[in-house]
Structure 1
Amino acid sequence: MFKSLTLVTLLSISFSSITLADTFTLSSKDIAEGEFMAKAQEFNGFGCSGGDLSPQLAWSGAPEGTKSFAITAYDPDAPTGSGWWHWQIVNIPHTVNEIAAGAGSAKKGSAPEGSVQIANDFGYRGFGGACPPEGHGIHHYRFTVHALSVEKLELPQEASGALTGYMINANTIATSTIESLYKRDK
């Protein structure tokens, strides 16, 4: 009995170590799980006056077979019937594991080389910050990094957020998400 228990314990410890070593994680200096985002991540327009700054993001533990990454920022609480795409960036090289704050700026061109920013639901390519309707309550913003099994997603020039989301999900090996919050009071 003791030998069986010891063997099970050793196997559990070994398996746990392997599982922890292979965990795909996302972190940020600018946003945190379940915490409210700063004014820096608020949109500048549509009645909002924030910094419209995409957050710094870093990831580690990408699974074997990862050939590229994609990042999405999505608000499922937007009163549209389909949520709101704030950011989709694809074809991030597999050698990249961090993007700086502001990398989603459509004006600065500081996204990783070779990557492509998709038009957000504000209508332009790049990051568009949080801007929920005043008095609409707390919105949840899901920043997700996707490890992809392909080097490049083949998308049309004017791909929609839905098509891009479909292609990302069809080629995803693993994901890691930080869900941050934002609200605007009346």
Structure 2
Amino acid sequence: MADSKHNPTYLSDRFPGPDPYAPLSDLPPLEVTSADFADGDQLPAEQCGSDAVSPQLSWTPGPEGTKTYAVTCFDPDAPTASGYWHWAVFNIPASVTSLPGNAGDESLQNLPDGAVSLRGDSRSYGYYGANPPAGHGPHRYIYAVHAVGEELDLDDHQTPTVLGFNLNFKATARGLLWGWTENS
């Protein structure tokens, strides 16, 4: 795969937050899709709120040498200085190129063997649905899949930010899929 130039489709004056991927290493692209929504669509109700289920996600295989994948969901529009992590899973085996809907349930039983889930900003190890504060405007939810050439040596007490730091230096490809929602 050739190097890509960071060309986000998720930037718009509608959203108050920054481009969280702008300062990161440019990586070859993975194509990420979902049976639940298309890139840039409003998220379906099933992916929103505190009782939400994680969306189905699929991605193209990483480059030769891929050993694991990491999947994250991040809201850069949260009214904080650091955004809001909704989901972070890593060490997904390279043989896995999709996660079924609700793979991020609180029991973590729907994740592939070997995958490690981290607590997001909701303090849950499972997926926490899109849930912007009422009246704050639309928020983006960026689902990222990273191909990694090794198993990451992190335990489940680390933060998604620490995972992201490691992925910046160890990922070999990245794909993004995003949706949005708003609570009036």
TM-score by length of 1: 0.81
Higher alpha-carbon Rg? 1
Q: Please state if 1:159 is matched with 2:158.
A: yes
Corresponding residue of 1:87: 87
Instruction: In structure 1, give the amino acid aligned to 2:39.
Output: E
Question: Number of aligned pairs?
Answer: 158
Higher share of residues assigned helix: 1
Instruction: In structure 2, give the amino acid aligned to 1:92.
Output: I
Structure 2 CA distance for partners of 1:78 and 1:97, relative to 1, 3 Å: same
RMSD (CA atoms)? 1.6
- Contact kept, 8 Å, 2:77 with 2:139, in 1: the verdict is yes
- More relative contact order in 1 or in 2 (CA 8 Å, sep 6+)? 2
- Contact kept, 8 Å, 1:23 with 1:61, in 2: the verdict is no
TM-score by length of 2: 0.81
Structure 2 CA distance for partners of 1:119 and 1:131, relative to 1, 3 Å: same
Unaligned segments of structure 1, at least 5 residues: 1-14, 16-21, 45-50
Post-superposition shift, 1:109? 1.3
Sequence identity (%): 35
Matches within 5 A, 1:102-117: 102-107=102-107, 109-117=109-117
Corresponding residue of 1:12: none
Alpha-carbon distance between aligned partners in 1 of 2:64 and 2:143, rounded to the nearest angstrom: 22
Runs of 4 or more above 2 Å deviation: none
Post-superposition shift, 1:108? 5.3
Unaligned segments of structure 2, at least 5 residues: 3-27
Corresponding residue of 2:18: none
Corresponding residue of 2:35: 29
